[in-house]
Amino acid sequence: MKPRATTILIVLCVLMAGRAMGSDVGFDLEAHRGGRALLPENTLPAFANALSMGVDTLELDVGVTADGEVILSHERRLSPDLARGADGAYIAPPGTLS
């Protein structure tokens, strides 16, 4: 059996065994960084979209900038390939806002 199929089978067996034993522990459906493959990660629209799809947990990373602003960002530097400034333009490398 292929490794992925084996993993899926094991997960399903564990979930079914929990139900059979009367466990009230459910499966936690999590949206990593707000469901980053669907909308820009760590944004309010991404979190709202994940919740509308039935996600139980929003996973996010919180940081504080040198000037005291609270931000949601997974990395210590923003990615110029992903992040945009307030004007909508992509930020300049190496990941700093201009």
Break the chain into its structural domains and give their ranges: 3-72
80 and 90 Cβ atoms separated by less than 8 Å: yes
Distance CA 86, CA 97 (A): 9
Buried b (16+ CB within 10 A) or exposed e, 10-26: eeeeeeeeeeeeeeeee
* DSSP-derived 3-state class of residue 92: strand
- Among residues 71, 74, 51, 30, the alpha carbon closest in space to that of 82 is found at 74
70-94 pLDDT per residue, tens: 877 666 777 788 777 888 888 888 7
Q: What pLDDT does 31 receive?
A: 83
Mean pLDDT of the chain: 75
